[in-house]
Copies of this chain bind each other. A is one copy, B any other.
Amino acid sequence: MYNEQGDFTVQVCFSPLSWPLFDMGNSVVIVADIFRASTAICTAIHHGVAAIIPVETIEESEQWKARGYISAGERDGKTLACADFGNSPFNFMAEHLRGKTIVMNTTNGTRAINMAASKNPLVLVGSFINLSAVCAYALQYKKNIIILCAGWKDRFSMEDTLFAGAAAEEIIKTGKGAYHTVCDSAIASIDLWQMAKHDPVLYIEKAAHRHRLKRLGLDDVIAYSLTLNQVASVPVWNNDRLVDSKAL
């Protein structure tokens, strides 16, 4: 598991707050916001949505909406007044959304994506539902890989960390010896994933955000969001939006 000269590294950044410590530029970055932006984006792209434009402020959502765009968004679990629907992954499966571009209002996820994209050539959206696909896509570039957890308002988040552990493990295993890590946060993520992998839904019972979702009546997405490899799509950052890697 240790890095050796000439190899590529896989690192895990637990929070956007720590990003300046990790960001050397020129890495492949996988952004994860499991509950719920990154799972929703992977779901949307898999179901044929043409692009997701992630925005951070309500004003931005309103401006895009006024220009005729479909708008999704929540604030603290409630659908925004200007939005057509909330950010549950289940909302992005509808037939009438195929080929459409959707504006998605998400605080943690959007900020993380923008931070990653400012210096790095390739920013991907990762979730449990596209785990193997996003790792395989990242590996082909033969660059250092950083998994950036969007977290919860800059705090460490268990579900994003478990994804980071699953992804780091997969990258090291399938990277044919090219990927190693000496990053303590990657090692911790991999070890936490070993404890969780046999029943992630049971394990996440302990986590803070899961309780937040339950309180809000939004916990129907938990099992879906923690089930591995349901889709093969990889959303990739392209200018101001996320599109299917196959569309590039």
Contacts and interface: CB of A to CB of B under 8 A. Distances in A.
A182 interface: yes
Contact of A155 (B157, B185, B192): B185
Interface stretch (A10-18, A82-90, A125-133, A167-175): A10-18
A192 to B, nearest CB: 6
Contact of A195 (B155, B157, B191): B191
A209 interface: yes
A221 B144 CA distance: 33
Interface in A171-224: 182-185, 187-188, 191-192, 194-195, 206-209, 211
A183 B194 CA distance: 20
Nearest to A160: B184
A183 B206 contact: no
B158 A188 contact: yes
B184 A1 contact: no
A18 B21 contact: no
A21 B211 contact: no
Interface of A: 1-2, 14-15, 17-18, 21, 152-158, 161, 182-185, 187-188, 191-192, 194-195, 206-209, 211
Chain copies in complex = 2
A18 B188 contact: no
Closest 10 CB pairs of A and B: A158-B184, A156-B185, A182-B208, A184-B208, A187-B206, A156-B184, A184-B207, A191-B195, A17-B17, A157-B184
A211 B182 contact: yes
Contact of A183 (B2, B15, B208): B208
17 contacts: A1-B206, A17-B17, A18-B18, A18-B155, A152-B184, A155-B185, A156-B184, A157-B184, A161-B184, A161-B188, A184-B209, A188-B188, A188-B192, A191-B192, A191-B195, A192-B192, A195-B195
A155 B22 CA distance: 9
A211 B158 contact: no
Contacts of A191: 192, 195
